[in-house]
C-alpha cells in the first residue's frame, strides 16, 4: 500500500506541477499589527495530520480531493471528509465590502465559549505539542457523533458551535450570514507551569475566504481562509466526553462494513446541500474509471489512483467535485459473494399496466374541485402559493432548512416543488416526462413490468406545520400542488403506472390529528417508519396482483422487531446557527425485518423484483439502521426478498446503475419499482436523461 501511495504521489507531482509540499516550521516571526490577536507570521506553516494524508494539491479550481486514511478510526475518516474540502466551500451571503466590523478589543467574542486570553492568530502561538497538532479532529462531525451517543453531554459543545457561528463582530446578527466556524479541535494535556492544568481542548476558528472583516487577517497555513485559535472554556468538555472520545472515536478502528455505513451516512447527510452521491462504495477500485466524467479524468491528466475504497461525487452550486479516499487497515467493505440463484417463475413473461383506476381517481379530484383543468385548480391556491414564494424569497439560498411550528423543519427543495408550476412545461432537460416514459418502454420491450412511486413532500402532507392555517382550504387536508397531479395524469395517459401515495398519506393525516406518529421525521427531509410502512404496503399490494407473482418460488417468512436510536436529522445543519442550537437529536423508531433464523434482512441481488431509488429507499436501510427500509418492508409484506439499487442524490438518474448491468441481465427481471422524492420532478440539479443500453 505504501508503494502504491508513493507512486500515486509521484504521478500527481508530475501531472500537477502546482503541487506544493511546503516546508515544516516557521521561517520568520513577528507580531501582526492590524489584527487584534497575537500571531507569528510564517512564510509557510502547512497543516499536517499524522494519520490522514492529502495526495492531491490544494487548489481553488481543483475538482478532485484525494486523501489516504492510514488508520480507519471515526475521527480520521471525519477529518479526511471535512478538513479543507472544496465540497463544503461557503459562498458569501452578503456583500461585505461596504460594512464596518469592530475588533473585539477588551471584549469577549463568541459569547465567551473561548477563553479570551487564549485567542491567538497562529497554531504556533498555542501550547499544542507537535504530536497534538498532528491529531486534529474535525469539529462538527465530532459534535454530531457525541450528540448521537449522549445528547445531554454534547449540548455544551453544540452551544459552542452555535456561539462561534453567531459572532457578527459588532453588526446586528443575521440568520442569513455567518463569517466563521469552528473547523478543527485539538486535545492538549497541559504540562507543568501552564495555566489550567489537565486536559484542555483547543479549536481552530476559520473565517470564510470571502469574509475579510479586518485588515491583515492571519492565514498562517496559507489556505486562503484566515484562522485564529483558542481554548474552549474548561466546563464545555466533560470528563465523560473526554473518556468517550479517547475510548472510541479516537482509537477504535472501524471494520470495512462500518466504514461503508459511515460513507452512507455522510452521503445522505450531505446530499440536501451538496447534491452528493456515492461513486465508489466498498470495493477497492481504480479512479478515474469508465463511469468518471471526462472533465474529471482530464484534471488528473492520465494519473490513476489504485486501491480507492470509496468516492463521493457532488455538485455544490452546480460544480462537479469528487472526494476520493484510500483507507489502510481494512479490506473490501463489500464481499464478492457467489450469486445465489432464486427459483424462477413458472409462467411466461408479460407486461401488465393498470392505469384506468388512477386516471379515474385523478378526474374525480378535478370534479371535486369544481374545475375543468389543473391551471384553474392552481389559481384557487394563489394566496397560499404566494405565501410560500415569499418564505422562499426572503431566506438566503444558503439556508436549505425552514423552521416551522412546534419543532418541525422543512426542506427548501420541497417548497420550490409545490410552487414550481407545470412540471411538463419545464425547459428541455428539466422536464422528466420523456425520460420516464422512455424508461418504461425500454423495460416493456424486455417484458419487464414497471411501477413509478413518487414520494410526496413533507409540506404537502403537513402544511399546517409551516403555513398559517387560515390560508389552507377548509375541510380535509388539501392538495397543495395540482400540477403534481397533472403530471401523474400525463404519465398514466402515456402508459406509465404509478402508485399514488399522496391520497394514502393525506387520508392517514386526516385520521391521525394528534401527531402521535407522523409520516415524516420532524427534523429530517425523510419519512418515518410509519410513512415508509404505508408506502411499502401500497406497493406490495400492487405487486401481489401481477399474474406472475403467485408462481414465484423461494417464499420466506419475515418478522419485525422495533429498534430505536438518536438522530439529529439532516435539516438541523441547514439552519442558521441561532436556529440550529434550539434542536437536539430526535428519538427515531424503526421496524427491523428479520428472517426465520433471526438474521437481519438483506436485499437480494438476484431477485426478479428490484427497487430503484434515492435516499428515501436508503435512509432506514443503510444509514439510520439496516434492514428497516422500504425495500425490507416490501419484502416482509410479500414474503419474498427484493433487490435494492439506490443512489442518495441521484434518484432520477439512478437508472444508469441498473442499465449498466446490460440488456441480458435486465431481461431476467420481472418488475422495476422506481421510487424517489417527488420534489426532484421540479428543477432537478442534473438533466433528466433519456437512457439506452450502451449509453448509460
Closest-CA residue to 652 (of 464, 349, 426): 426
Closest-CA residue to 424 (of 508, 509, 488): 488
Q: Quick one: cell of 582?
A: 434550539
Residue 554 confidence (pLDDT): 79
Distance CA 248, CA 241 (A): 11
Q: Which residues contact 81 (CB under 8 A, 6 or more apart)?
A: 138, 141, 266, 323, 325
Q: What is the mean pLDDT of each successive set of 10 residues along the chain, which is 696 residues long? A: 44 35 34 54 67 85 91 96 89 69 72 89 89 96 91 90 88 79 95 83 92 80 85 94 96 90 86 84 86 88 90 86 92 58 65 94 94 95 94 90 96 96 92 94 94 97 90 80 97 97 95 91 96 98 94 89 90 86 90 93 90 92 87 96 84 81 87 95 89 65
Phi, psi of 675 (to 5 degrees): -120, 125
Task: Confirm if 418 and 382 have CB atoms less than 8 A apart.
Answer: no
Distance CA 321, CA 660 (A): 23
**Domains of the chain, residue spans:** 6-48+94-238, 356-681
Distance CA 168, CA 333 (A): 44
pLDDT for 8-67, tens place per residue? 443 443 333 233 323 233 333 444 444 566 655 544 466 789 999 999 887 767 899 999
Q: Which residues contact 682 (CB under 8 A, 6 or more apart)?
A: 416, 417, 420, 423, 426, 430
Task: Confirm if 321 and 314 have CB atoms less than 8 A apart.
Answer: yes
Chain centroid, CA 38 distance in Å = 38
Residue 250 confidence (pLDDT): 97
Per the DSSP assignment, residues forming a β-bridge with 515 are: none
Q: Quick one: cell of 198?
A: 489537565
User: What 3-state DSSP class applies to 517?
Assistant: coil
Alpha helices in 455-528 (DSSP H): 458-461, 482-493, 501-511
Task: Confirm if 388 and 530 have CB atoms less than 8 A apart.
Answer: no
Distance CA 481, CA 678 (A): 11
Residue 8 confidence (pLDDT): 47
Residue 45 confidence (pLDDT): 60
Q: Give 76: exposed, middle or buried? Use CB within 10 Å, 0-12, 13-18, 19+.
A: buried
Residue 534 confidence (pLDDT): 98
User: What 3-state DSSP class applies to 462?
Assistant: coil
Task: Confirm if 208 and 180 have CB atoms less than 8 A apart.
Answer: yes
Angle at 680 between CA 675 and CA 681, to 5 degrees: 90
Residue 3 confidence (pLDDT): 43
pLDDT for 278-325, tens place per residue? 888 877 889 998 888 898 988 888 889 999 999 999 888 778 999 999
Q: Quick one: cell of 247?
A: 475510548
Residue 138 parent element (H or E): strand 137-138
| Global confidence as pTM | 0.81
Is the bond into 695 cis (omega within 30 degrees of 0)?
no
Residue 449 parent element (H or E): strand 449-455
Residue 502 confidence (pLDDT): 97
Chain centroid, CA 41 distance in Å = 38
**Cβ atoms within 10 Å, residue 282:** 20
Give all strands (DSSP E) within 260-408, no chain letters.
Answer: 277-287, 305-314, 321-327, 401-403
Angle at 268 between CA 265 and CA 274, to 5 degrees: 125
Residue 13 confidence (pLDDT): 37
Q: Which residues contact 382 (CB under 8 A, 6 or more apart)?
A: none
Residue 591 confidence (pLDDT): 96
Amino acid at each position: 500500500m505504501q508503494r502504491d501511495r508513493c507512486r500515486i504521489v509521484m504521478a500527481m507531482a508530475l501531472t500537477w506541477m502546482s503541487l506544493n509540499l511546503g516546508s515544516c516550521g516557521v521561517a520568520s516571526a513577528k507580531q501582526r499589527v492590524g489584527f487584534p490577536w497575537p500571531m507569528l507570521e510564517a512564510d509557510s506553516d502547512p497543516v499536517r495530520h499524522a494519520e490522514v494524508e492529502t495526495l492531491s494539491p490544494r487548489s481553488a479550481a481543483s475538482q478532485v480531493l484525494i486523501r489516504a486514511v492510514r488508520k480507519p478510526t471515526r475521527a480520521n475518516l471525519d477529518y479526511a471528509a471535512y478538513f479543507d474540502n472544496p465540497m463544503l466551500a461557503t459562498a458569501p451571503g452578503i456583500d461585505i465590502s461596504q460594512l464596518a466590523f469592530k475588533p473585539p478589543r477588551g471584549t469577549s467574542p463568541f459569547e465567551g465559549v473561548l477563553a479570551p486570553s487564549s485567542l491567538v492568530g497562529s497554531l504556533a502561538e498555542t501550547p499544542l505539542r507537535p504530536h497534538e497538532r498532528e491529531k486534529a479532529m474535525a469539529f462538527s462531525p465530532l459534535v454530531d457523533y457525541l450528540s448521537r451517543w449522549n445528547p445531554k453531554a454534547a449540548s455544551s459543545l453544540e452551544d459552542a458551535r452555535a456561539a462561534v457561528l453567531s459572532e457578527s463582530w459588532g453588526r446586528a446578527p443575521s440568520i442569513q450570514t455567518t463569517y466563521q466556524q469552528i473547523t478543527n479541535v485539538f486535545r492538549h494535556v497541559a504540562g507543568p507551569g501552564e495555566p489550567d492544568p489537565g486536559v484542555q481542548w483547543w479549536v481552530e476558528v476559520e473565517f470564510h475566504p470571502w469574509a475579510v472583516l479586518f485588515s491583515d487577517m492571519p492565514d498562517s497555513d496559507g489556505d486562503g481562509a484566515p484562522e485564529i485559535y483558542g481554548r474552549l472554556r474548561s466546563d464545555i468538555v466533560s470528563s465523560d466526553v473526554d473518556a468517550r472520545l479517547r475510548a472510541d472515536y479516537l482509537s477504535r478502528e472501524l471494520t470495512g462494513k462500518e466504514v461503508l455505513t459511515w460513507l452512507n451516512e455522510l452521503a445522505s447527510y450531505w446530499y440536501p446541500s451538496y447534491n452528493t452521491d456515492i461513486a465508489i462504495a466498498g470495493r477497492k477500485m481504480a479512479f478515474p474509471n469508465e463511469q468518471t466524467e471526462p472533465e474529471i479524468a482530464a484534471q488528473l491528466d492520465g494519473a490513476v489512483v489504485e486501491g480507492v475504497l470509496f468516492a463521493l461525487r457532488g455538485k455544490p452550486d452546480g460544480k462537479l467535485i469528487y472526494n476520493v479516499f484510500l483507507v489502510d487497515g481494512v479490506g473490501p467493505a463489500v464481499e464478492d459473494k457467489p450469486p445465489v440463484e432464486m427459483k424462477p417463475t413458472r409462467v411466461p413473461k408479460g407486461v401488465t399496466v393498470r392505469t384506468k383506476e388512477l386516471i379515474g381517481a385523478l378526474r374525480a379530484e378535478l370534479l371535486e374541485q369544481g374545475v375543468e383543468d389543473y391551471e384553474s385548480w392552481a389559481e384557487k391556491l394563489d394566496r397560499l402559493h404566494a405565501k410560500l414564494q415569499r418564505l422562499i424569497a426572503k431566506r438566503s439560498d444558503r439556508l436549505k432548512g425552514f423552521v416551522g411550528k412546534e419543532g418541525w423543519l422543512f426542506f427548501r427543495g420541497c417548497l420550490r416543488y409545490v410552487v414550481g408550476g407545470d412540471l411538463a412545461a419545464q425547459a428541455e432537460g428539466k422536464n422528466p416526462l420523456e425520460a420516464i416514459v422512455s424508461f418504461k418502454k425500454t423495460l416493456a420491450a424486455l417484458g419487464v413490468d414497471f411501477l413509478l412511486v413518487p414520494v410526496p413532500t413533507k409540506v404537502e402532507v403537513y402544511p399546517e406545520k409551516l403555513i398559517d392555517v387560515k390560508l389552507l382550504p377548509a375541510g380535509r387536508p388539501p392538495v397543495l400542488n395540482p400540477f403534481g397531479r397533472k403530471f401523474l395524469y400525463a404519465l398514466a395517459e402515456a402508459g406509465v403506472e404509478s402508485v399514488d401515495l399522496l391520497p394514502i398519506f393525506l387520508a392517514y393525516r386526516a385520521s391521525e390529528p394528534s401527531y402521535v406518529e407522523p409520516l415524516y421525521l420532524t427534523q429530517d427531509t425523510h419519512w418515518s417508519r410509519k410513512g415508509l410502512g404505508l408506502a411499502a404496503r401500497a406497493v406490495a399490494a400492487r405487486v401481489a396482483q401481477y399474474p406472475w407473482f403467485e408462481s414465484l418460488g423461494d417464499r420466506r417468512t419475515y418478522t419485525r422487531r422495533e429498534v430505536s436510536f438518536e438522530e439529529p436529522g439532516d435539516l438541523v445543519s441547514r439552519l442558521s446557527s441561532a436556529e440550529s442550537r434550539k434542536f437536539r437529536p430526535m428519538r427515531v423508531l424503526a421496524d427491523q425485518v428479520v428472517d426465520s433464523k433471526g438474521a437481519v434482512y438483506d436485499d437480494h441481488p438476484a431477485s426478479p423484483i428490484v427497487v430503484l431509488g434515492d435516499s428515501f429507499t436508503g435512509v432506514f436501510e443503510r444509514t439510520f439502521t439496516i434492514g428497516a427500509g422500504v425495500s425490507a418492508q416490501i419484502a416482509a409484506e410479500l414474503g419474498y426478498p427484493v433487490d435494492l439499487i439506490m443512489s442518495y442524490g441521484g434518484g432520477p438518474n439512478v437508472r444508469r446503475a441498473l442499465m449498466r448491468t446490460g440488456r441480458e441481465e435486465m431481461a431476467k427481471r420481472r418488475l422495476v419499482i422506481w421510487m424517489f422524492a417527488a420534489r426532484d420532478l421540479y428543477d432537478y440539479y442534473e438533466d433528466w436523461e433519456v437512457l439506452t443500453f450502451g449509453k448509460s
